[in-house]
Amino acid sequence: MTDQPDAPLTRIQQKNRDLILEGALTAFSTNGFRGATVDQIAEAAGLSKPNVLYYFASKDDIHKTLLTTLLDMWLAPMIRIDPQGDPLAEVLGYVRAKLELSRRFPRESRLFAYEILQGAPHLTEILGGSLRQIVDTAAAILGAWMDQGRLARVDPHHLIFSIWALTQHYADFDVQVRAVLGPGHDPFVEAEPFIESLYRKMLAV
């Protein structure tokens, strides 16, 4: 399988790849990249170690595939920002989408944050390549709206960074947030109107 990366996958092969990536997410989230082993990934996936290595060449290969898949998922809402849409509605829609991704995929968010804190050894080329291009395109759209007087003037790149930081905080620091709020609170439900109000006041003209 690793010798034929472009060969189309059968339904069973795709299922096994998905099981491996889910097992890897469990292993990496529990033990970190260094502590996780292919044996642990295989056990979490319910497959044999040789079966795992049939689909992926190594633990590094699994980790990089998992991270790039997650990055594609997180970038999708940014790519969907419509330059022909209503500026404030497009920004707030992006904020809501990022918060929802943090709610639905907290392990993935923490795994990505850990990779970044380690210096992004598996993502260096992507961060300076396709990620930068996508962010620059979104920043250019935001900047054009600001030039047209349709959004308040702020630095477009740092606006994007602030959205990432604020929305992903609720996943990456989930334990802290829930401890401070106490029982009976849903951080994501309570955060959405606050965050939306924050950016609406910041950007409305």
Query: 137-172, pLDDT tens digit by residue?
Result: 999 999 999 999 999 999 999 999 999 999 999 999
Q: What is the pLDDT of residue 6?
A: 58
Question: Do 1 and 84 belong together in one domain?
Answer: no
Residue 69 has pLDDT above 80, yes or no: yes
Report the C-alpha gap between 51 and 12 in whole angstroms: 12
Contact 157, 135 (CB under 8 A): yes
**Tell me, what's the pLDDT at 3?**
45
pLDDT at 4: 47
136 and 53, same structural domain? no
Q: Which two tokens stand for residue 91?
A: 């920004």
Domain containing residue 21: 1-57
Q: What's the average model confidence in pLDDT over 23-37?
A: 86
- Mean pLDDT to the nearest integer, 50-69: 91
Domain co-membership, 81 together with 182: yes
pTM metric for this prediction: 0.84
* Residue 40's CATH number: 1.10.10.60
Is 101 in contact with 74 (CB distance < 8 Å)? Answer: yes
Percentage of the residues of the chain whose pLDDT score is greater than 70? 97
What mean pLDDT do residues 12-33 have?
A: 89
What's the CA gap between 114 and 96, in Å, rounded? 23
Q: What is the pLDDT of residue 46?
A: 93
169 and 78 fall within a common domain = yes
Q: Are residues 41 and 84 both part of a single domain?
A: no
Task: Supply 52's token pair.
Answer: 């795992």
Q: What is the CATH number of the domain that holds 78?
A: 1.10.357.10
Domains in the chain: how many in total? Answer: 2
What is the 8-class DSSP label of residue 152?
-
Q: Domain check: are 53 and 93 in the same one? A: no
